[in-house]
Chains A and B, each alone.
Chain A
Amino acid sequence: MDHIPILKLRDFLLVTIQVDMHDRLAMQLQDDLTARISETGARGVLMDISSLDIVDSFIGRMIANIAAMARVLDAETVVVGMQPAVAITLVELGLTLPGVRTALNVDKGMALLESATREIGDSPAADAGHTE
C-alpha cells in the first residue's frame, strides 16, 4: 500500500497531500506522522492541503487528530493552503478543526511554525547577550 511521503525540513516535518485520500491512506498517514515525530523529535508539522479540493468530516477529523497527537508529542501543527470552496463547505458542515493552526501558504506556515516553536523551545542563553 502506498504511503504519503513525509519530508524533514530542519526541525519540522512537511506533508503535502496531493491525492484524493481513501480512508486507509489517511489512517496510514496518522500512524506514519506520529512515528516520525517521535523518531525525529520534530517540533512542528506543516500540512499542505492546497491540492485538496474536498475535505469531508473524515479527513477533517484526521487533520484534527494529527494536530492533537502531535501536541501530545510536543509538536505544533499548521495546516496551509485550504481552498476557499473547501473552507466554505467545512463551515457549512460545522467542522471547526479545533487545535489546528492555519496559514495561507507554505511560507507563512513555516514562519508561523518557527515563531510558535521558538518561544517554547528557546533557552534564555540563546538570546543575544546572555551567558549562563
Chain B
Amino acid sequence: MSAATDAVIPRILKAHEADLLDEWLREQASAFRPGSKISENELRGQAREFLSLLQQATQSGNITDIKGPSYGRVRDMLGDVTRSRGLQGFSPSETAIFVFSLKRPLFDRIRTELATDPESLAMVTWSASELLDKLGLYTTEVHQKSREEVITRQQAELLELSTPVVKLWDGILALPMIGTLDSARTQIVMESLLARIVETGAEIAIIDITGVPTVDTLTAQHLLKTVTAARLMGADCIISGIRPQIAQTIVHLGVDLSGVITKATLADALRRALEMRGQRDRLLKPRG
C-alpha cells in the first residue's frame, strides 16, 4: 500500500471515533448472547480504549504487522481483555467478536471516504479486513494460551496432592508413589520429601514404589539422587516395593543401588526402620 492509502485508516479512526464507537457497540450488542456478564459501561470503556490504541498503532505505517512493536500496546490490551473474558466464562469466539464486529462500521466509513476512488477503496478495505482478522485471531491465541496455563497449574497442584509424604512413626516418613514416574514429577517429589525431612526432623524416609509399574533410567537416577541427597542431609532412605520387573530394569540400566537399603514390602521397610531407630536410641542413650 502506498503512503496515501496507509494514512486513510488512522485518519478515519481519529475523525469518526464517536460514530464508530456507537455503531460498533450496537454490532456487539446484537452479537452477544443474552445474559452475558459484561456491563455496558465496561464494554464501552474497553471499546473506546481499543479504538484509541488502534488509531495510534496504525499511524506508524505497516498497518497489518500486528506482531510489530507499534502494536505492542494493542496486543497488551487485547490480551488483558481476552484473559478477563476467559475467566468470566466467555468462549473464544465471543471474545473474537469483540474485534470482528468493528468491521462493518469501519468498512462503511471507508466506503464513504473513498467513494470516488474504487481502486483505493478496494485496497484499504482489504487492509482493514486483514488487520481486524489478525487481531481477532490474536485473541483466540491468547485465549488458548491462558487455558493451557490454567491446565498446567492444575496439573501441578494435582501432582502435589497425589504424592503426599506421610509420617509413619516418630522419626519415620513414608512416601508412597503411585503411577508412572516421569522426570518432572520425580523431581517435585524429591524436593518435597527432602523439605519434609527437614520440617519433621525424621531421620528415616521410606520410598515405596509398589504402585509404580515401570521405571526408566532417568527416574531410577532421580531416586538414587534423592537417597544420596537425604544422606548428605543426615537422613537415611529405604526403597520398598521394588517389583521383580523393576529390579531387572534397574540392573539392566546399570544403576547402582548397592549403597541403598531396599525391601520387598512397605511392612518390611517399616520393620527395618524401627530397628534402625532402636539401634540409634540405644547408642544415644546416656549411660550410667
Residues of A with C-beta under 8 A to B235: 104
| A92 closest partner in B (C-beta) | B225
B231 at the interface (CB under 8 A from A): yes
With A91-B228, A104-B198, A126-B288 in contact, do A84 and B234 touch (Cβ < 8 Å)? no
Q: Which of A80, A88, A96 contacts B194 (CB 8 A)?
A: A88
A26 at the interface (CB under 8 A from B): no
Closest Cβ of chain B to A28, distance in Å, is 25
Closest Cβ of chain B to A77, distance in Å, is 13
Q: Once bound together, how far apart are the Cα atoms of A69 and B183, in whole Å?
A: 40
Residues of A with C-beta under 8 A to B197: 84, 104
With A84-B198, A105-B201, A108-B203 in contact, do A127 and B288 touch (Cβ < 8 Å)? yes
Residues of B with C-beta under 8 A to A103: 234
B182 at the interface (CB under 8 A from A): no
Are B232 and A102 in contact, CB atoms less than 8 angstroms apart? yes
- Secondary structure class of chain A's binding surface, majority of residues: helix
Closest Cβ of chain B to A89, distance in Å, is 9
Are B288 and A128 in contact, CB atoms less than 8 angstroms apart? yes
Are B234 and A82 in contact, CB atoms less than 8 angstroms apart? yes
Q: Which of A83, A84, A128 contacts B287 (CB 8 A)?
A: A128
Are B203 and A84 in contact, CB atoms less than 8 angstroms apart? no
B191 at the interface (CB under 8 A from A): yes
Q: Once bound together, how far apart are the Cα atoms of A126 and B288, in whole Å?
A: 8
Q: Once bound together, how far apart are the Cα atoms of A83 and B197, in whole Å?
A: 10
A18 at the interface (CB under 8 A from B): no
B251 at the interface (CB under 8 A from A): no
Q: Which of B195, B201, B231 contacts A108 (CB 8 A)?
A: B201
Q: Once bound together, how far apart are the Cα atoms of A92 and B221, in whole Å?
A: 11
Are B201 and A84 in contact, CB atoms less than 8 angstroms apart? no
Q: Once bound together, how far apart are the Cα atoms of A82 and B286, in whole Å?
A: 26
B229 at the interface (CB under 8 A from A): yes
Are B232 and A111 in contact, CB atoms less than 8 angstroms apart? no
A90 at the interface (CB under 8 A from B): yes
A114 at the interface (CB under 8 A from B): yes
Q: Once bound together, how far apart are the Cα atoms of A80 and B235, in whole Å?
A: 11
Q: Which of A88, A112, A115, A126 contacts B191 (CB 8 A)?
A: A88
Closest Cβ of chain A to B232, distance in Å, is 4
Q: Give the interface size class of chain B.
A: 20 to 34
Q: Once bound together, how far apart are the Cα atoms of A115 and B233, in whole Å?
A: 19
Are B198 and A91 in contact, CB atoms less than 8 angstroms apart? no
With A104-B197, A104-B203, A108-B201 in contact, do A91 and B287 touch (Cβ < 8 Å)? no
Closest Cβ of chain B to A121, distance in Å, is 13
A87 at the interface (CB under 8 A from B): yes
Are A82 and B288 in contact, CB atoms less than 8 angstroms apart? no
Interface residues as binary, B179-200 with A (CB distance below 8 Å gives 1, 0 otherwise): 0000000000011001101100
Closest Cβ of chain A to B167, distance in Å, is 15
Are B284 and A115 in contact, CB atoms less than 8 angstroms apart? yes
A4 at the interface (CB under 8 A from B): no
| B283 closest partner in A (C-beta) | A115
Residues of B with C-beta under 8 A to A112: 284
A74-116: which have CB < 8 Å to B? 80, 82-84, 87-88, 90-92, 96-97, 102-105, 108-109, 111-112, 114-115
B20 at the interface (CB under 8 A from A): no
Residues of B with C-beta under 8 A to A80: 234
Closest Cβ of chain B to A125, distance in Å, is 11
Q: List 8 A-B contacts (CB under 8 A).
A: A80-B234, A82-B232, A84-B195, A84-B197, A91-B228, A96-B228, A104-B197, A105-B201
B residues in contact (CB < 8 Å) with A: 190-191, 194-195, 197-198, 201, 203, 225, 228-235, 283-284, 286-288
* Extra pairs beyond A87-B194, A104-B233 (18, CB < 8 Å): A84-B194, A84-B195, A84-B198, A84-B233, A87-B229, A87-B233, A91-B225, A91-B229, A91-B232, A96-B228, A96-B232, A102-B232, A102-B234, A104-B234, A108-B201, A114-B286, A115-B284, A127-B287
